[in-house]
Amino acid sequence: MFKRLVSISLLPACVLLTATLAVAQSTASSDVAKTTEAATETNTTAATPMPVFTEYKGVKIGMTAEDVRKTLEQYLKAKGDAQDILVVADSESAQVFYDNESKVKAISIDYTNGASQAPTAMQVLGREVEPRADGSMYAVERYPAAGYWVSYNRTSGAKSMVTITIQAL
């Protein structure tokens, strides 16, 4: 009898709790839909950002391997179907990666030995990047309209290294 009495007295509480959760979920879903709708409106009306760093020594995403090799012939140290390796100076090198159609799909540039000649984050991304506690930096910007992303990575320390990467989406 006691079990039945407890079950009956808890029934209204369970019904109330279920109804409250249903209302809360409905309200949350509605708020998410409104936020998503507002974000979509903002994104469609805002100007599409364009990349600041669009090429490396004349080489761009989508360029043919043949054109890359003509453009950077003096720096070419090794070439292959999937990748070329370039050495520009003792502290500057690059790799150019190709897709199955021998077109540039990524460019990675490394500045070493303190990276004093490396571009700044502002020159690469069009904005400052806040250094981490150890002095290192990392940021990436995606540019769907241009079809690629650009990243900036700086290691910490006196002899830091900067790597800039451009890669097709």
CA 85, 88, 93, 94 torsion: positive or negative?
Answer: negative
Fold of 65-168: Jelly Rolls (2.60.120)
At 10 the pLDDT is 42
Rounded average pLDDT per 10-residue block, the chain, 169 residues: 46 38 39 38 55 95 97 96 96 97 98 88 95 96 95 93 97
Are 49 and 149 within 8 A, CB to CB? no
- Go through 121-158 and write b for each residue having 16 or more CB atoms within 10 A of its CB, e for each that does not: beebbeeebeeeeeeebebebebeebebbbbbbbbeee
Q: What is residue 113's predicted lDDT score, i.e. its pLDDT?
A: 86
User: What is the pTM for the complete model shown?
Assistant: 0.71
The ranges assigned to domains in the chain are 1-46, 65-168
Amino acid at position 112, single letter: T
